[in-house]
Structure 1
């Protein structure tokens, strides 16, 4: 009789879970869409085990989870949302009618404290007078007065025809400093040689 009480208590205590079997369980929702759905805040203290994750295919859209420092809440980062934030942005600048092929200082008005801007590619759409010299396009992004600027030029060259209106097309990659790690600057002395190596890799 003594043991029977314990068996009965154990059966009563576990029966809500045992009877559920493979049915979906909802907390805060009466219509769970998966085996367990929590509609609302949840706190886990000892970690979460993640089972099998299906491979992505081309048709899938990517969504990231980002933890907010102030509230420790998780937020979704849906890169497929055209109006939302993203890990990075690709922006094309079409610069019309500069001083021949010379763009000295184009202010993008993008904050240098919040974002990083890299130039990916650039091309100029007019024939050049190189006057016997070889030249390659020089283009870059740089910081001045707190914003990112663009510059582009063919050194030692000008428009072949002065009256032509040229256009630069510069493609940039823009990403938030909050969503990327800034590793700073590394100086590597070459000692007047043509080969060198950094002592430690920046990422291991």
Structure 2
């Protein structure tokens, strides 16, 4: 009878301890931080069903799961400043160009691996217009183009110069950079306008 009581007591203790022992499972780790933590690359041959995703808070760091060329699932931590990301925002501060003219600034960013767009550009000096040809206004022009395999930037106020030529001017140009591997590239769409001022795409690239 004493043996039976000891056995029942031992079984009760095991049941009580099981939630604490088996509530978290770790693979390649002895200290899992969630219900299931896998330390290392994961390869899944079937689909994954995700039933609920909690909303991100402002203090949370968002992380993506991506599949590489070897069909392995890896994490993409966009909060890591040195890691890969879906897109990048880079501001260039170009100091003391020739008056307000940046003819060719080489970012040295590969045009094969990335797409670069100029988002905004402004110049910090007062300008004077060239009125010799009847021009009394100028709109800032900034754009990105490909040369010798890398992205270059051009910036200028056409038909305008520094009011005081000796002043040092500064362009602040913000760019948005996409990785070609992590974004969908539709390629080039040719639009024949037939000498008209309006046009329309044959079909939308995104439905």
Same fold (TM over 0.5): yes
Residue among 140, 144, 159 paired with 2:143: 140
CA RMSD in angstroms, aligned pairs only: 2.2
Q: Deviations over 1:103-124 (max 9, x none)?
A: 1011111111111111011111
Q: Return the alpha-carbon distance in structure 1 between the equivalents of residues 104 and 32 of structure 2.
A: 56
Structure 1 partner of 2:201: 198
Structure 2 partner of 1:98: 97
The number of equivalent residue pairs is: 184
Q: Is the 8 A contact 2:41 2:73 kept in 1?
A: no
Q: Is the 8 A contact 2:41 2:74 kept in 1?
A: no
Q: TM-score, normalised by structure 2?
A: 0.79
Structure 1 partner of 2:57: 57
* Change over 3 Å in CA distance of 1:192–1:53 after alignment to 2: same
Structure 2 partner of 1:75: 74
Q: Return the alpha-carbon distance in structure 1 between the equivalents of residues 97 and 41 of structure 2.
A: 55
Structure 1 partner of 2:120: 121
Q: Return the alpha-carbon distance in structure 2 between the equivalents of residues 145 and 39 of structure 1.
A: 42
* Change over 3 Å in CA distance of 1:186–1:59 after alignment to 2: same
Structure 1 partner of 2:109: 110
Q: Tell me the CA shift for residue 190 of structure 1.
A: 3.2
Aligned residue for 1:150, secondary structure, equals: strand
Structure 2 partner of 1:12: none
Q: Return the alpha-carbon distance in structure 1 between the equivalents of residues 40 and 61 of structure 2.
A: 24
Q: Return the alpha-carbon distance in structure 1 between the equivalents of residues 41 and 100 of structure 2.
A: 57
Aligned residue for 1:84, secondary structure, equals: coil
Unmatched 5+ stretches in structure 1 = 1-19
Aligned residue for 1:184, secondary structure, equals: coil
* Change over 3 Å in CA distance of 1:68–1:160 after alignment to 2: same
Q: Tell me the CA shift for residue 101 of structure 1.
A: 0.7
Q: Deviations over 1:134-157 (max 9, x none)?
A: 110011010111111110011111
Q: Return the alpha-carbon distance in structure 1 between the equivalents of residues 72 and 60 of structure 2.
A: 25
Unmatched 5+ stretches in structure 2 = 1-17
Bigger mean CA deviation after superposition, 86-95 or 34-43: 34-43
Q: Tell me the CA shift for residue 25 of structure 1.
A: 5.7
Q: Is the 8 A contact 1:89 1:174 kept in 2?
A: yes
Q: Return the alpha-carbon distance in structure 1 between the equivalents of residues 163 and 40 of structure 2.
A: 66
Q: Is the 8 A contact 1:24 1:32 kept in 2?
A: no
Q: Return the alpha-carbon distance in structure 1 between the equivalents of residues 41 and 173 of structure 2.
A: 45
Q: TM-score, normalised by structure 1?
A: 0.80
Residue among 174, 179, 186 paired with 2:177: 174
